[in-house]
Structure 1
Amino acid sequence: MGFHGFLVVSQDGVDQARLYSVDPVISAFDFQEGTPSRQYAGTTLDFSAIDPVFYGGPSSYFFGPLFDDGDLSVLGDQVILSSFNVGEQTYRFPTTYVSDQGQVYDVRSFEFPIIITPAPLEVIVEDTSKAYGTQLDLSGVNYTANTLFPGDSITGGIVISEGAAADVPVSDNAYFLGLSGLTGSGLSNYSISIVPGSLRVVPRAVDVEIDDAQKTYGEEIVFDGTEFTVTGLLGEDTLSSLTIKSDGQPAEAPVTDSPYLIDGDDPVGTGLENYNIRIFPGELTLTPAPLTITADDQSKPFGTEFVFTGTEFTVTGLLNEDSVDSANLTSDGAAPGVPLGGEGFVIVITDPEGEGLDNYEITLVNGIMIIGPGNLTITANDQSKLYGTELTFDGTEFTVAGLAEGDSVDSVTLNSDGTPVTAQVADGPFAIIPSDPVGTGLEKYTLIFADGSLTVIQAPLTVTANDQLKQEGQTFTFAGTEFTVTGLLNGDTVDSAVLTSDGAAAEASVDDSPFDILIGELTGTGVDNYDVTRVNGVFTVDNIVVPPTVNPMPPWSSTLPNPTDRLTLSLFTSQNRADPVQGNVQGFDGPQQSLGDARTTLALVDSLSSDLELAVRSCGSADQDFTNYMACLSESLDTYANALDEIVNDLPPGLENVAATIRTARDGVNAAAARAQRRLAGATSASERRAIRRDALTEARGAINQAQDEIRKAITLIRADDPEVAAVQRNTGARIIQAFDTVDSELARAVEL
């Protein structure tokens, strides 16, 4: 006996070496530490002894062939397994060995242990796919095995997947394909690993056919998105709408391009992600629209030739921007020799030409040509008249064309909106409309009337700037009414004018005087009716008017507030100078002036008023010397009142007491100045003093405005038998109002300063 794998053989008590020499015996041993292992390789397992040792053989056998030999190591490569299957097995050496010269030896050995380990076997499940809505037959899924040795086999297995059911939705991710329950031969000799496959659920094919449609040219068709038929949807999946469109939808789509494809996209519904939607377009067929072209009826004078231009027709039914530009028109009645009267001749229309006519089903309607008498044209003569005059027609202001010999037009009724005196220049020219001719043989003609033109010419109008006078160093401001107008008609007015003069500026000097007063733009009513001649006025700058010297008012120390006085103004009638004018007075019954006397009085009042205006403008500035300014203003009003008193007998009835009204205004100015002086004595700041002066000037304006109102009331009561005298007398009162406007303007300017 020996260590693992070592064997000592005793045969009949004979020495071992002797046996090897006298017997054809070989002892085989495999020396190993531990149990060897080999991986399963089917029935072709390649295994050799680990450390073989041999005793005996050709080198030891005495009775063997001469010079015999052999390689005993081949016995280690020829070991015999008890079994090729996985598990604890044994192996042994072959039982015989043949030497090089054919001697057969009996090989003796023990069985040695060996472990057969499983071989790796990878089973791969093949990828597959199925359409949404179908049940996958898992038994048809293929799988393959690598390294399966001969004689071994896989005869069956169970493929599993959650994606096999029909209702599994389409997904971007593949479903798992697993394998279990493999059956076959020799599979226990393997360590089996399953490589799963992938199952992809692909969209199901769905066919959508767009419905065919039809429309008439010129119509616009709108699809609501449901004009289709769908095939292939499953279960509760739906296709509710598409975006359906076609180039033939617009109203202007031409018939010549029909039929048009109707396409659809952007499907809307439920479960549509599980489908491959194939959309088959429909067709949109356009039918021509109806179009009627009617030859226009014509008439022509007997003996004349009618020439068609190709446009004498009427079209009904044109759409979009299509047009019928011309047509071929013929008629037997167009020749000059056809007879007069009868039922007329047919006008035949053919071959229309234009744009887009292929879009229509065209109906051609013939016309009629009537042969009638010739045309007689009566034209009113053009006329003109001066604005403000009335034009009267005598009925002969016309010309005639087409009149045959022996026939005549003796008179015509002529009318025009431009004949009245009030016809405006700007509304012209006016039409002169002829009608109702009187003559002989006119019944044979087709009468044609042509209007004439009536032009209204501007009337002459002269606007003269009034002469002005001012003190050197003062600024003169035009009110825009310092002018005289000659030539106004029909109640037209010139209300104001833009008046300018270099003499109005404060720096205008006496040495450069006089200056022109220029008239610019006129404002009024009806001014456009006149050819205006502007006559410059003369602006004189003088230096002889000196504001009166006023002693300063005593500096009262009272600090009482400046209360407002209540002024009562009274005008008196010529019958009773002791009673004021009351309520509903109808007028003054004073002595009647002649027109010449009234104009003389107006001139005197104008001169006195100009003196007042110049004096007030010469009073200086209220913010520089308030006391002297108010005193100068009071003195100027007093001088004006005294001057009017001197001509009181020449003033219009109703204005006899205007001087008293002016003095009442003067008293209001004085009262405002006195209150201001009392308040100024207690003022402690420049801003307080400015406020007191501003209050006094505003109070003075109130007195002036109240006087103006009283004088205006008196002017409204002026009456005279002669309208021209009354107008001059009212202008006299208006000149006084104008002078007071200047005073008020100067006070307003002082308030602003």
Structure 2
Amino acid sequence: MNKAVVAVTADNAAKIYGDAVPAVGFTSTGYVNGDDVDDVDTKPVVTTSATATSDVGSYATTASGGVDDNYSFSYTDGVLTVSKATATITLSDNTATYDGKAHGVTVTTDPVGLEGSVSVTYDGSSNEPVFVASYAVVASMDDKNHTADDATDTLTIEQGEDTYITLADLPDVYYGDPPLDLGLRASTGNRVMVFVAGPAVVGNDENRLVTVNDVGTVDILLYALGAGIPVDQRFQAASFEVKKRNLLITADDKSRAYGSDNPALTYTIQGFAPGEDESVFSTAPALATAATNTSGVGDVAITFATEAVDGTGHYAISHQAGVLSVSKAPLTITGADQSREYGPIKASFFGGKKFVNQGTDATRDNISHWRELEITSLSAATMKFYLDADLSTADDQANFTTISRDDFVWDAATRNLTAPAVAGAGIVFGIPYTSSSVDVSFNDSFTQATFVLTGNILETTADSPDVTAQIQGLAAIFSNINIVDDKNVSVTWAMDVSPAAYTYSGFVNGEGPSALTAQPSSSLAATATSPVGDYPIVVSGAEGDNYEISHVNGKMTIGPATLIVTADNKEIFETESLPSLSYAVSGFVNDEDASVVTTAPTLTTDADNTVIGDYAIVASGAAATNYEAVYVNGNLKVKTVAKPKVTGLAVSDTSPTEGDKVTITATATGDLLTYEWYLGSNLIQSGPSNTLVVTDIGEDDAGRYSVFAKNFKGRARRLARIKVSERANSVFLIVGTAPVDVDTPGDAVVPSSSNHPAGEHAGLAIDNNTSTKYLNSDGKNDQPSGLTITTGGGVVTSLGLTSANDAPDRDPTSFVLSGSNDDGATFVEIARGDIPAFGARFERQVLSFDNTTNY
């Protein structure tokens, strides 16, 4: 439900200017349900911008501020009208005595202060009257906030006793003054006769102005006619002196910048009589100043080298010196724009064929060839010193073959690096004549360092000029630099510094930076890790007595570092599937790695695996923050597949004993080979292996072996034959992986009992003949049986058993093996365990166990 709307209209009101603003009410309509204005929670109020002193006019009365839960309010302004207040005009001083001057009445108003709005006329004229008479006076008011009735009166100018003829007070008169009004009149208003003697004339008109025309004394006699003028009042005489006219010649003030030529010197003349000029001078003035274009900032007098001389006698001349103000010359110092790649700064500050001059007086530690370099830096630096390979023997290689620096102890008080207190405590580096460069790392921040260079990079040349090389915050001050065409030394560094290369615009008088009292400095917020973008090189600090310096920032543009994406080379044989393509990335800085790569490169190739040849592997599309990728193609080589040829078939043992391991190895040429192995006509192995291993060979593994080497271009075969011999029961000594019998036929064998047939005794257990056997019948009575063998000794790690031509229930089911090292006096158990059931007669089993003891 919406609120009902009450229309509120501010009342109109009126007041007189100066009265207080009356209270203004309002009317309102739109109430419902029997409500009226008294039911409103907060009634509206009416305000106006007018005050008691507001000018006559109309002002809005504005209602606002009504608040109620059930009503909203719309407002209509009223008008407050301010009318003019009533004032009065009073006139006084309405009589005067004739004195040759104009007279008027005095006006006052109520309220006071309105006199300026009142105009007065005399017989209808706004000019105040002079002569004896009566004049009708009317005063009228014109004021924006007041109205008044006109005031009227009569002004009477009476005749005085001695004022029939008037003559004005005579002032000092100078040659060239304008015509003088000396009040040459009578009280009746009639003309008077004027007689003038001396350097003046009087005008023959009603104004009777006196004009002087030379220097000297002027005499005036007045004579007035009129019936009302007594005889003794008709004459009046006076005289005055016409003096020389004052003439002031002032040297004009001038200004210029330091180093500029002096401006034209001029002067200003004040006091010439109308119509006259410098032509009255018999000698013209001339100006001079001691200032030159090398005069420093300050004020220099402009004086009169020659003063003016008046040739007419009409002027009294004075001269006033001026000032030449020499201001500072504008000088703009601009930081040179720089650019570098993202990462540590790498630049060169001194290059070319330049050598430091040794000088005949330069000695240090008994070395006569040395010069110092002063290095200024804002942070740690890495510097390289290079030697040319073409240094000649004339450079005294035997004595001076290194670049060395020994003063590397920082002294904060002197801001220098001093020699170490203990020999070897400082850092000393050097390179022999045959080397090309050496890196020197400065790990601590420093502001100034002293280097000592010795060696064959130095030349002795006298009287070479000092040279200062400066770039990017690293300043090298070389004393007596000499350029030698066939020698070279350069220095490079990598560090975070504020570049200090500047261009200067505005030096004058052949001056340069040495004319400054404080040299500029610069700061750079960018560091080695600052991302790609533009950074201000803020230039400040320069001062000069004679220069008004403006510093203009340079700009450091950090561009992307180069990221080298190299596609890896690949090789395949024809028909092989194309390999997975890979790449390597180099060029990371700031200890960054591949984690900054935002888009991995795409690798493509148009290789055809059926066509022999080399194909480019092209990388593209890589993106990395703060890097720009360049690409190095890889090569995919599709190689020809050679036909197979088996050149050899090596058999580890063509006549093995049953149970031995036999290895057959094929030697073949060709590519993409696979091998098929046959025993007779049976395929026993196929695949990429060129080796067939037969472990625990048996009699059924004897026969003809053949191998086929194959690829899609053909196949080749090689044959070998293997004959397998029967192995009798035996005990093995395993050394490494090759079994060696520890027993041999004929070794001494003692059975555990004599309960055995005569033709099946214990010696037959180790005779290497499977057609014989050892049988002991103790087992059927649940009594263990066995035998003791005296052998040559060894470390026994397995037991080999062959089932005999007998009933299977006579086969052994378990064993205990013991060894003795004291001729059988005592035995130590080596192993024990179950014997798996034999699956056939003449089957051989090898039971292995751990043992490291020799018996």
TM-score by length of 1: 0.27
Higher strand share: 2
